[in-house]
Chains A and B, each alone.
Chain A
């Protein structure tokens, strides 16, 4: 699976949009971009995934660049409960998720 690079940590004010970047310059054609988050001492929670097109669901939006070498996860109106470690992962369908270090997002009042 392709490696990803994410900032170690980010801060965001409550109510603002949180934009979390991810670089995956070695992504191959059949690999999807996944985003998960982990709140302290809990199992990871699925957020969103995409292949080439931008995606949106009730939790977030995923913007993937045209060359697919990077993506951005957008939480449109961050709340304190969004404080977590966010993992950007690329993988082919059906295979295990290999977690990097992720981005620790702190949402402040």
Chain B
């Protein structure tokens, strides 16, 4: 199957700083990417849908000014957690959809964010 990578895999930062997480589709072009987060012992929760060249669509309760998403190319989407706080500590996972007619969605390995 297709490969999606994330960078970094793990990041520790101080409260108040911003952290950028990259999601790349390595061998296909992704018109749509999705960002999820997962708290310990919980399921994945969709945060936002990122479409190449347009603004992201955020799920209810997700602050768009805090979680900035940029999908500037067909192979890269970035999630920036601005002014991170300890409650933002979580496992962030992206996925990519090669196209509307292609049913599989491929997930990255995740990024573990710890805010001190």
Report which A residues bind B (CB closer than 8 A): 32, 34, 36, 38, 41-46, 49, 87, 93-94, 96-102
B-side residues, CB < 8 A to A, are 1, 4, 6, 32, 34, 36, 43-46, 49, 91, 93, 95, 97, 99-101, 103-110, 112
Taking chain B's interface residues, is the majority helix, strand, or loop, or is none over half, making it mixed?
strand
The answer, among A44, A96, A98, for a CB contact under 8 Å with B93, is: A44
Give Cα A32–Cα B104 distance, bound, in whole angstroms. 11
CA distance A93 to B103 in the complex (A): 6
**Closest Cβ of chain A: how far from B34's Cβ, in Å?**
5
Contact A43 B103 (CB under 8 A): no
- In the complex, residue of chain B having the shortest beta-carbon distance to the beta carbon of A45: B107
Find the B residue at minimum CB distance from A42. B109
Task: Check if A98 sits within 8 Å of B104, measured CB to CB.
Answer: no
